[in-house]
Amino acid sequence: MISIKGLSKVFQTKDQEVTAVDNLDLTIEKGEIFGVIGYSGAGKSTFIRLLNRLEDPSAGSVVIDDRDVASLKKKELRLARQDIGMIFQHFNLLWSRTVHDNIAFPLEVAGVAKKERDQRVEELIELVGLAGRGQSYPSQLSGGQKQRVGIARALANKPKVLLCDEATSALDPETTDSILDLLVDINQKLNLTIVLITHEMHVIRKICHQVAVMEGGKIVEQGDVLDVFLHPQKKVTKRFVDQVMGDPEKENSLNLIHDTYKSDSILKLHFVGENTNQALISDISRRFNIDVNILHGKITQTQKGAYGTLFVQFSGEQSEIENVVGYIQSTTVEVEVNPSA
């Protein structure tokens, strides 16, 4: 669906050249919700603006449905953008227009007849959960409602791709979840490919199928969301995973655990999918002559299933603890002994 090769963007400032996006290669499948995550300055906002040529690339190609957006002339680009919807962090609504007229605007630009335009707008108002608010103005709406208008407007021309530029970062957590649920619903109903950039791992965890981690203009890690949660390779990725797993000061926490229980074995268990319901600890307590103390744990949900971590302290004979580790390794639960940050 989307094939990106050698994509780069270099900005020329007064004093130097700044490489915002550095030679990216990426493939995004049709119907996928693909997340791009990074901290401020990672290059993710520039990246998403390159996908619809709001920024011209310095090098590389962006092929969407067999059409290289990066090489299109102005007239071709205007037509191509009808297949690429975009929603923004700060909504970008027309404040003098009603909800109905905001959603209708791209249809007017595309030359759609009024009767067809009005019918399409009503369908979209219903789809995004704003029935009865068509004649309201943006100033009369909550933040979440404004973003729903932005989503409806982005869908007006029946795009094949929806780009989301920090679409929930201006919203409170409850409203964020409702907007994310709406995006999942749209993805499933319309088989719409969604590319979403964010600095919040909660957003990636909740709705994305695949994720790419950006740092310094490069993609430093990518893969299935659940795999990235299970096996983060880079330090920046581990920091993002810790956002969701509730341990932002993981290194200090682990040092405290090791200092407090230095004479015992600390195990970190990884549970995936149906294994999160497994009664492993009680099973170990019955089978082996050791004492078990649960130190810390959390379960979270991704699009591909549940993922959980559990820190436990084992006290007893070293040989018996080794037997426990061997037993856990014989199951589908992953185990780290005396884990480090």
pLDDT at residue number 21? 95
On the question of pLDDT at 245 being above 80, the answer is no
pLDDT at residue number 253? 52
On the question of pLDDT at 142 being above 60, the answer is yes
| Ramachandran angles phi, psi of 69, nearest 5° | -60, -35
**190-219 burial, b for 16+ CB within 10 Å, e for fewer?**
bebbbbbbbbbbbbbbbbbbbbbbbbebbb
On the question of pLDDT at 289 being above 80, the answer is yes
Looking at per-residue pLDDT, the higher value among 90 and 260 belongs to 90
CB 161 within 8 A of CB 2: yes
**Where does the pLDDT of residue 80 fall: very low under 50, low under 70, confident under 90, or very high at 90 and above?**
confident
pLDDT at residue number 136? 96
On the question of pLDDT at 5 being above 90, the answer is yes
Query: Domains in the chain, please, with CATH?
Result: 2-243 (3.40.50.300), 246-337 (3.30.70.260)
pLDDT at residue number 248? 44
On the question of pLDDT at 97 being above 70, the answer is yes
CB 123 within 8 A of CB 105: no
Give the mean model confidence (pLDDT) for residues 66-73.
88
DSSP letter for 6, please. Answer: E
Q: How many CB atoms lie within 10 A of CB 16?
A: 7
Give the mean model confidence (pLDDT) for residues 103-132.
95
Which residues 6+ apart lie within 8 Å of 209 measured at CB? 32, 33, 34, 224, 225, 303, 304
Give the mean model confidence (pLDDT) for residues 16-41.
94
211 strand-pairing partners? 35, 223
**Residues of the chain with pLDDT > 70: what percent?**
92
Q: What mean pLDDT is reported for the chain?
A: 87
Give the lowest-confidence range in 69-83, 158-172, 269-283.
269-283
On the question of pLDDT at 274 being above 70, the answer is no
**72-81 burial, b for 16+ CB within 10 Å, e for fewer?**
beeeeeeebb
Give the mean model confidence (pLDDT) for residues 293-303.
78
